[in-house]
Amino acid sequence: MTQNWKNKSSLLIFLAGVVITILIATSNVHGAESAPQYGWTETGLYYELMENQEYMIYGYSGTEPIVNIPAYINELPVTKVYEAFQEDEVVTEVIFPETVKEIDYRCFEQCPNLKKVDLGGITNIFVDWHGSYLFWDCPQLETLIFGEGANLKIEEEKSSSRSFNIIRHTQWSQLKHIKISKTMMQVPASFFYSSSLETIEVENGHPDFKSIDNILYSADGKTLIVCGTNYKNEHCVIPEGVTTISKYGFESCSNIKTLTIPSSVISIDDSAFWDTAMMLYVDKGSYAEQYAAKNKLDYLRYNEKGSLEIPVTEMTLNHTNAAMHVGDTIKLVAACGPAQAADKSVEWRSSDPKIAKVTSDGNVTAIESGNAEITVTALGGCDVTAKCGISITVKDEDQPKKLGAESQSSIESDKEQVKSNASKPKKVVLKKAKSIKRGTLKLTWKRDTKATGYQAVVATDKKFKKNKKTATIKKNKTVTKTFTKLKRGKTYFTKVRAYKKVGKKNVYGAYSKVKKAKVK
């Protein structure tokens, strides 16, 4: 009897537990079903209930500039945000809770005053061809923070060059700071292309990335991925051990004046230094030196002692023009600068040795009547040259064979004669003016073989007064000039003229016909 009673008691307890469980489950179901389908929070957020019994934030009509999205509404989680802030002019900062996992591709489109977004625990930022509108036209955006679990998901098949990253169009914004959690995996390099980007911060322990001095590297430190466009330091040093500089690694980093590249670097993408004008410091004989020479980039070498080899950048002659008689000689002296240049050796050459011959130490001998040009080239320089024009006539019977002090003064007086007989260069033919890259304009003209050089001018008005830029091209063979840092979207007027060096003055020819071109 006692045993039967114990069995019945156990059965009753079990059945009671089942009933209670059913009642609780039924209560929860009814509670979920009775949750409001839509409504407004006290802060002005409009929400709607989705089929999975989770809430989506659909809009915002509040007046507070800083918006904290709630984690729960009516005890149900908020997991998605739709076009809640599209074209909102009030909001300046939005903070997402850990419950939100997905945002719409137009969530922040055209928010003129938005400055900061903390994406919290969002794990699904789906980027298809629409993705580039997420932060479209947010000119005040300064800071993006990606929290635990954040991950870009890119649909490669539908992505295009303009939609490869969700903030591509912040290149016109004030985006200054990006912070990435250690669980954010896919990060395209172009994601960091913002004209104001200063800092890139990666949480310690990220399996793929790390940041050093606001430059993004691979986690093992061997690949330099990208440098913020608005990198503040003028002098940048890549750490020893880096082997690769990726595509667009230093694109448009105009603030950097010098970049030191270690000998460990053995691979540099062809577009790593697109739209830059920095001086590269490289080791003698290194891959970086070969790359710089091949791509015609400005660079200086470190010698075996670790000292920079300063090249010759300027050179002058004691005479730029000389009138001589057959049989006379004159000594030309070249002065190279700067003073600390490592190699000041030079090479002399005559345009016509049958008229004027020059020795390796600059002694010129007049052979027969005519005109010739003596060119001296710095062997330790960046294609630095200087020239002296020689005019030779048959000497009089009483003319001494070798120039003394009196004859030297005669040469100086003959300069004025050369100047007076000089004719102006002919009118230059400007072939084309074209914007090949953003903010640049390239001019191309026909060479004037008798000119010393050229002068190119661009401006945004026909009278060449507004936004005027002038460049002097000192080489006769150079027939192109690229102007940089021009106003994008503006139409520029362009013209070119040639000049001849006569004595210490330049004699200019007429300007070419004006051509106009729109800058990209």
Sheet holding 385-393, edge to edge: 321-325, 385-393, 370-378, 346-350
Q: Higher model confidence: residue 399 or residue 121? A: 121
List the CATH code of the domain at 38-207: 3.80.10
pLDDT beyond 60 at 303? yes
pLDDT beyond 90 at 176? no
Q: Higher model confidence: residue 231 or residue 484? A: 484
% of the chain exceeding 90 in pLDDT: 42
Residue 272's nearest CA partner among 290, 293, 292, 245 is: 245
User: What pLDDT does residue 472 have?
Assistant: 93
Question: Which single residue is written with the structure tokens 């939100």?
Answer: 100
Task: List CB contacts of 377: < 8 A, sequence separation 6 or more.
Answer: 346, 347, 349, 383, 384, 385
Angle, CA 249 vertex, CA 246 and CA 255 arms, to 5°:
165
Do residues 332 and 318 touch, judged by C-beta distance below 8 A?
Answer: yes
Structure tokens that stand for 335 in this block: 């002065």
The Cα 331–Cα 323 span in angstroms is 13
Sheet holding 199-202, edge to edge: 66-68, 93-95, 116-118, 143-145, 177-180, 199-202
Q: pLDDT for 141-158, tens place per residue? A: 877 776 654 544 444 333
List the CATH code of the domain at 430-518: 2.60.40.10
Residue 440's nearest CA partner among 478, 473, 487, 479 is: 487
| 119 band by pLDDT with thresholds 50, 70 and 90 | confident
Mean pLDDT of 228-235: 84
> What does the buried/exposed string (b/e) look like for 163-202 if buried means 16 or more CB atoms within 10 Å of the residue's CB?
bbbbbbbbbebbbbbbbbbbbbeebbbbbbbbebbbbbeb
User: How does DSSP assign 228-293, residue by residue?
Assistant: -TT---SEEEPPTT--EE-TTTTTT-TT--EEE--TT--EE-TTTTTT--PEEEEETTSHHHHHHH
The Cα 397–Cα 382 span in angstroms is 45
The Cα 258–Cα 333 span in angstroms is 33
Q: Where are the domains of the chain?
A: 38-207, 233-309, 314-421, 430-518
User: What pLDDT does residue 136 have?
Assistant: 77
pLDDT beyond 70 at 14? no
User: What pLDDT does residue 251 have?
Assistant: 84
Residue 294 phi/psi, 5-degree rounding, is -65, -40
Instruction: Please give the mean pLDDT across all residues of the chain.
Output: 80
Report CA 72 to chain centroid distance, whole Å.
44
User: How does DSSP assign 178-246, residue by residue?
Assistant: EEE-TT-----GGGG--TT--EEEE-TT-SSEEEETTEEEETTS-EEEEE-TT---SEEEPPTT--EE-
Least confident of 308-322, 325-339, 389-403, 412-426: 412-426
Q: Is the pTM of this model over 0.75?
A: no
Is-same-fold flag (38-207; 430-518)?
no
The Cα 258–Cα 280 span in angstroms is 6
The Cα 24–Cα 490 span in angstroms is 70
User: What pLDDT does residue 25 have?
Assistant: 45
pLDDT beyond 70 at 31? no
pLDDT beyond 50 at 5? no
Least confident of 46-60, 182-196, 220-234, 363-377: 182-196
pLDDT beyond 60 at 440? yes
Mean pLDDT of 90-95: 94
User: What pLDDT does residue 140 have?
Assistant: 83
User: What pLDDT does residue 192 have?
Assistant: 62
What is the Cβ-side half-sphere exposure of residue 158, based on CA atoms within 13 angstroms? 10
Residue 352 is classified by DSSP as -
Residue 64's nearest CA partner among 86, 43, 85 is: 43
Residue 369 is classified by DSSP as S
Task: List CB contacts of 368: < 8 A, sequence separation 6 or more.
Answer: 326, 354, 355, 392
Asked if CATH classification 2.60.40.1080 holds for the domain at 314-421, the reply, yes or no, is yes
Cα dihedral 378, 379, 380, 386 in deg (nearest 10)? 10
Mean pLDDT of 84-96: 93
The Cα 111–Cα 85 span in angstroms is 7
Residue 129's nearest CA partner among 104, 161, 154, 163 is: 163
pLDDT beyond 70 at 187? no
Cα dihedral 425, 430, 433, 436 in deg (nearest 10)? -80
The Cα 216–Cα 191 span in angstroms is 11
Least confident of 43-52, 102-111, 291-300: 102-111
Structure tokens that stand for 306 in this block: 């670790």
Residue 336 pairs in a beta bridge with 315
| 502 band by pLDDT with thresholds 50, 70 and 90 | confident
Q: pLDDT for 424-438, tens place per residue? A: 788 999 999 998 888
User: What pLDDT does residue 28 have?
Assistant: 47
